[in-house]
Amino acid sequence: MNDLRELIGKQVTAYIDGEIPVLGEVIDVHIEDAYFYEKNEPINVTVNISPCRWPLPNGVDEEDLSDIPLDWLRMPW
């Protein structure tokens, strides 16, 4: 799970609400794995990003840039 921390500082495209792309840099990774082995629950991984472009797209505000699920991220090729 420490490998996920390597995302910090990387540029990604985050799809806010799963559909609105925002180019940003990962500034923090949150891994909630407490008791997931014992409870047989999935690990919850989210990130916070800092946008690379202003203004933000319509329908996106700064609060949307925190706690983004990992599966909403793509590398910006």
pLDDT tens track for 3-21? 888 899 999 999 998 899 9
67 Cβ partners below 8 Å, 6+ apart? 30, 46, 48
- The ranges assigned to domains in the chain are 2-74
36 Cβ partners below 8 Å, 6+ apart? 42, 43
Paired residues of 29 in beta bridges: 47
Portion of the chain with pLDDT greater than 90, in percent: 62
Query: Taking a C-beta distance cutoff of 8 angstroms, is the pair 65, 14 a contact?
Result: yes
pLDDT tens track for 62-76? 999 999 999 999 987
